[in-house]
Structures are given as structure tokens and as C-alpha cells.
Amino acid sequence: MKLTHTVLSLGACLVAIACSSVPNRLVGIKQCPAVRAVTTMKVLYPIVLLHGLGQKADVWHGTATSYFTRDLGLSYGGDLRVDSNGVLNNASPNGGDADFYTVAFSDPHDSVNAWRDELEICITHILTATGADRVILVGYSMGGLAARAYLVKKLTDHRVKRLITIGTPHLGSPFANIWTWKSELEKCVREQNVVLSQPCRAALSAIQGAEGDVPFDAPAVRDLRRPEDGGDYLRRLSKYAHPLDVEYVSVIGEVDLLDEIKNLRSGSVQEILRKVLSMGGGSFTEIFESGDGVVSAKSQDIMNIEYFTVDKSRRRTTRDVNVASVHVDHLAKNTDIQRMMLDDKAEYKGAIVCLENGVPTLTVDVADHIPEQCSVTVDVLGAATQRFVAARGTAQLCRTADGIVARFSVPLEGVSTDSSTPYTLKIIITNTFGYTTTASIMW
């Protein structure tokens, strides 16, 4: 009896040893973590579109919004408006859940700081409505300055991933000096100087006749004066610290600050202004810079502001994009600038192998501006190569300890779990712009 028991015990041990000698990759693999899904948006960073001086939010309507909705499948959150009491009004077609928004500043020619304060209210609303960690700001012309002013004010708590400025006069515009000239001409008329009163009145009348929706003595025009023309606002703004964890993109092209500039190019108007301004030591030709429109290429590059020029190490997260034109009509008829807003490689955020319904599954976390348009290919490299694909539209936005990511789940069905040789899992992420990002892990 003892002999029989001994034999049986020895047999059981040999079986156990034999079984334990066969590696099984499923042993020790944890269950895939529960997903804290984000359902309020399809992008990681909601896009906020800001209009320019003298414009309305509808400058972005049409081609811009249709590109985002039709071509990229994004949801539009409507125009955001802040009233005089600081209360936000929003007629969102999606009940607050959206991927991009337009901001309609209450006064299209108010000061930069007035726009800044309205933008702050809008950003707070967007972050609350969507649950996003950060936003992408896109500022056309003066809208870019409002965005910069916001970043300076909220230096350590801005919640902005990327700032794209389009035709923005970061160093000011020579045209804005007309604010000074109009003020001086009004003073000249009031003083009723026997010699100068009549010429000043004629010049003032010419300027007033050239004005359209934006008075040339508006707070916005005052703020856009170049420092060398006495513009104190941009001089101070350029000195302030700007956050270095923001990606800065300057879109540079031929652009006028205002449509009303064409009225000043009238021969008769120029002649009157040239005569009167020369009497006061001014030069009307300073309004225009040959080849650069009225906002020079240098002025449109955010890297030329003082904060970035005094220390070159601060320029590490920047990009310049040069185009032929950034006029409003170009925005209305083309989508190249809209594409540039999001044109970038996807970022690999990590991957693990875990069990999903008993199947080994590779989860890949990705950060991309349009994650729904990304696909993930996984090559399992071992004795033979097996390929698995997570197609576009299969990513799920979820919240992790490091923020919101797009998570792809790739079941590794058919891969042997008994091989003694580790597998290399080669990961290829392809986004809507054709860029690829590669990574690999061992399993």
C-alpha cells in the first residue's frame, strides 16, 4: 500500500514538473483596467476659434466649420458670447457636448484685455462642459493677442495645449498709429489754431470718411500700436512671461489689419493726410510696409516678441508656417489653414498586454488631435510575424492618471501563449494626415 502511494505521489510530482516547465504567458497577466470613458467629445483638446478686429464669429462659419464637421466628423458647439454682465450665452446645437467652438466677442473693437476676460469665461465653460484637460486656441489677427493675454494672465493655470496665431500683429502694426494721428487731429481742431485748424479739420474729415465698422480711435486700434510708435500695451505684453508648456504656431502671410485700410489708399485721401501730417513731422507712408501688407511677416511671428528673443531656450516649442495669404477671404475659400491647426504626428502614450474576456489584448494609449481618424497596426514578432489592426473609429477616449487619452484595444487572438521566446510587439500609429508614430514593447 505504501509502495502504491509512493508511486502515485511521484507520478503527480513528475506531471506537475512537466506542466510547470511549459511557459504560459497568461499566467500573471492582469485583467485590462476599467475604462473611465469620456463621451462629451471626440477630440482630446477642444478647438476654440477666435475672430479678429472688427469681425464677428461668422468669419469662421462656412468652409472652416464644414471642414471640421464634414471632413473630420467633429461636433460644433456653436458661438460663445459673453454679455456686459460677464454671463455666457451659448446656443449650442449639441447641448454643450462638442469638439470645437467659435467665440463672438461682445465688442469687435474693444481692448485686447476686454477680449481676454471674455475668452477666460469661454474657456472655463468649455472645460466644464466637455471635461477636457486642455484646449487648442486659434486666434485670427487680434484674436491671437487676446489668447496671448489670457496665457500671460493664467501663466500657471492656462489649460491650453496649443496656440495658433494667424496673421496676428504680435509686434503691432504701423497702421494702428492712425489712432495717434486721429487723436492729434481732433486736438488740433479743438484748439482752433488760425493756421492749422482748417487743414486739421480737412484731414480729420478724410480719416473719418475712411472709417467703417471700426473707429480709428477705438481701444483695439490703440492697443495694436507698435512700441516704436508709442504703443505701450504690446510693449508690456511682450515682456511678460509666456507659458513654456504651450505649443506655439505662427501662421504668416499677406494680411491687412482692417478692410478700411483700402479706403486710406485712395489718392485724394492720401494727398490730404500727407500734407497735414508732414506739417506735424509725421509720415503717411509709414502706414504701409512694402511686400508685407500692413502686418509685417516679422510682426506675425510670435517668436519675435521680447520674452522669446532675450532667451533663445524659450523657443523650443514653436513652429512657423508661411502661406501666401491669410486674408479673411482666403479663410473662407480654403481649408489649408484649418488643416495646419491640427497637422501633427500622433503621440504614443504607452501600451500594456492584459486580459479582456480571457483573451490577451494589447491596449495602446495615443494622444492625437483627431483620434477617431487614427488606426493602430501591431506586428507580433516571434518565430513568425502576425499582424493585427485596430481600424479607424475604434479608439475610445478615456481618462487616466496622466489625463485624457485615446485607447485602442487590439485582441491578440491566435498568438501562441506557450512559446519560450519573448515576443516583440511593434506598434505603428497612423493618423488622418498620414503621419506614423512607432513604438514597441516586449511580451
Q: CA-based angle 339:368:29, to the nearest 5?
A: 160
- End-to-end, the C-alpha distance of the chain in Å comes to 47
Q: In what order do the strands lie in the sheet with 375-381?
A: 385-390, 375-381, 424-430, 436-442
Percent of the chain past pLDDT 70, that is, above it, reads 83
| Cell output for 222 | 490703440
Judge whether residue 194 has pLDDT over 90.
no
Q: Which long-range contacts (CB under 8 A, 24 or more apart) does 273-279 make?
A: 273/181, 273/203, 273/206, 273/207, 275/199, 275/203, 276/185, 276/199, 276/200, 276/202, 276/203, 277/181, 277/203, 279/196, 279/199
Q: In the prediction, which pLDDT does 124 show?
A: 96
pLDDT: is 405 or 229 the higher one?
405
Report how far apart, in Å, the C-alpha atoms of 213 and of each of 137, 142, 208, 261 are. Answer: 26, 15, 11, 12
Of 102 and 184, which is predicted with more confidence? 102
**Would you say 293 and 179 are in contact if contact means Cβ atoms under 8 Å apart?**
no
- Give 256's pLDDT tier (boundaries 50, 70, 90): low
Residue 337 class from Cβ within 10 Å (0-12 exposed, 13-18 middle, 19+ buried)?
buried
What pLDDT score does 277 carry? 57
The mean-pLDDT minimum among 2-11, 81-90, 364-373 falls in 2-11
**Which single residue is written with the C-alpha cell 472688427?**
54
pLDDT at 238: 98
| pLDDT value at residue 22 | 40
Per-residue confidence (pLDDT) for residue 395, from 0 to 100? 95
Model pLDDT for residues 299-336, shown as the tens digit of each residue:
999 999 999 999 989 987 677 887 777 777 777 677 88
User: What is the reported pLDDT for 3?
Assistant: 46
**190 pLDDT band (50/70/90 cuts)?**
confident
Which triple of cell numbers denotes residue 395? 479608439
The pLDDT assigned to 19 comes to: 44
CATH code reported for the domain at 345-442 = 2.60.40.10
Q: Which residue has the higher pLDDT, 67 or 290?
A: 67
Which of 243, 43, 37 minimizes the C-alpha distance to 126? Answer: 43
User: In 225-247, which positions are buried (b, 16+ CB within 10 angstroms) versus exposed (e)?
Assistant: bbbebebebbbebbeeebbeebe
Confidence check: pLDDT of 2 > 90: no
pLDDT of 264 reads 59
Please say if the pLDDT value at position 66 is more than 80.
Answer: yes
What are the pLDDT digits (tens) for 261-311?
555 555 555 555 555 555 555 544 555 444 334 688 899 999 999 999 999
Looking at mean pLDDT, say which of 7-16, 193-202, 384-393 comes out highest: 384-393
Q: Which CATH architecture has domain 47-177+185-342?
A: 3-Layer(aba) Sandwich (3.40)
For residue range 390-416, what is the model confidence (pLDDT) as tens digits? 999 999 999 998 899 999 999 999 998
Find which of 208-212, 249-253, 317-321 is predicted with most confidence, using mean pLDDT.
249-253
Rounded average pLDDT over 140-156: 97
- Let me know if the fold of 47-177+185-342 is the same as that of 345-442: no
Q: Of 332, 325, 330, nearest to 251 (Cα)?
A: 325
CA distance 443 to 421: 9
The pLDDT of 130-134, averaged and rounded, is 94
Distance CA(10)–CA(356), nearest Å, equals 37
Q: Is the pLDDT of residue 441 over 70?
A: yes
| Domain boundaries of the chain, sorted by first residue | 47-177+185-342, 345-442
Among 96-105, 173-182, 344-353, whose mean pLDDT is lowest? 173-182
Mean pLDDT estimate for the chain: 84
Answer whether 165's CB lies under 8 Å from 147's CB. yes
The residues with which 136 forms a beta bridge, in sequence order, are: 47, 162
Say what the pLDDT of residue 290 is.
Answer: 41
Neighbours of 15 (CB within 10 A): 10
